[in-house]
Structure 1
Amino acid sequence: MSRVWKWNRPVTVREVLEDLQKERSIAYTTVMTVLDNLHQKGWVRREAEGRAYRYEAVSTRAAYAAALMNDAWSQSDNPAAALVAFFGMMSEEQRQALSDAVRIVQGPETQEPTEPSESAEAREAATEPEQAEQPEQAEPTEGPPENPASAQGSGGR
């Protein structure tokens, strides 16, 4: 999949073979078999071109990575602890990227106020039963859109 993602366009077995042979010796039939297996698993789509096929990734590398993280997290018996451990492994750059991603997903209307006292008050108000029922205090219940890679199953990951 790395080679198919790297090219970022439909590729032939021959193109992938030539790219791989820059690093190691590999047979044409091996590359053909792997691409056929990826097609059968739904990871790539293919289109006939003469006597050969052109293969193209069904989802992006980012979508695949997100699906892997979601699968791992959902299988944890303590998701909060798994997240804490995961965040602890992150570099400062990765934590900044995570923070940026959370801001993007939340959107401007759901971001907390910048003053700490207002933020604490807003959190307390949202946890009180009578306040939580009010639309302006309710937490969003809709999750992120389904990841196209997650619908492919866990085979071959």
Structure 2
Amino acid sequence: MARLGDLERAVLDCLWQADEPQTVREVHEALAGRQLAYTTVMTTLQRLARKGLVAQDSQARAHRFSAEATREEMFTELMTDALGIAGDEHEAMLRFVDVISPEARAALAEGLGQQKKNKR
């Protein structure tokens, strides 16, 4: 999966925070503080749709967009892809654990502990 730009991440954040699919206008309004042109937001949504990250529903007069995956599912896919290209998966994971916050490290340890208990 290609690396996302700042605007693409911001647009995805808008879609993840919304309870339902959003129109270009709704995303544009959510990003009002960035002073973007409407067409810039529209192009970004279309680009995300071409990348397979956003679903575009063109049934209504105004097209509606929604994220194809949750934030967590997308992160999992990115991590899986990154580990797939790592020369040494074990070393890559250790380096990752070294750079995450102590809270994230504790959550990871807890999750691994739960997974270990569930396998018994």
Q: After TM superposition, is the score higher than 0.5? A: yes
Between the aligned partners of 1:62 and 1:45, the Cα distance in structure 2 is: 17
State the partner residue of 2:7.
none
* 1:103 Cα deviation from its structure 2 partner: 3.4
Per the TM alignment, residue 49 of structure 1 is displaced from its structure 2 partner at its CA by 5.5
In 1, the alpha carbon distance for the partners of 2:79 and 2:87 equals 15
Are residue 40 (structure 1) and residue 50 (structure 2) matched?
yes
What does 1:1-157 align with in structure 2 at a 5 Å threshold? 1-21=12-32, 23-48=33-58, 50-110=60-120
Q: Which string of whole-angstrom CA distances, capped at 9 and with x for unpartnered residues, describes residues 91-139 of structure 1?
A: 22111211222234445233xxxxxxxxxxxxxxxxxxxxxxxxxxxxx
Higher-helix-fraction structure: 2
Report the TM-score, using the length of structure 2 for normalisation.
0.79
3-state SS of 1:52 partner: coil
Taking structure 1 as the reference length, the TM-score comes to 0.62
Q: 2:44, 2:100 → 1: CA distance? A: 33
CA distance in 1, matches of 2:119, 2:90: 25
How many matched pairs? 109
Q: Distance in 1 between matches of 2:77 and 2:19?
A: 19
RMSD between superposed Cα atoms in Å = 1.8
- Identity rate of aligned residues, in percent? 36
Q: Secondary structure at the match of 2:34?
A: coil
Structure 1: runs of 5+ lacking an equivalent = 111-157
Please tell me whether Structure 1 or Structure 2 has the larger radius of gyration of its CA atoms: 1
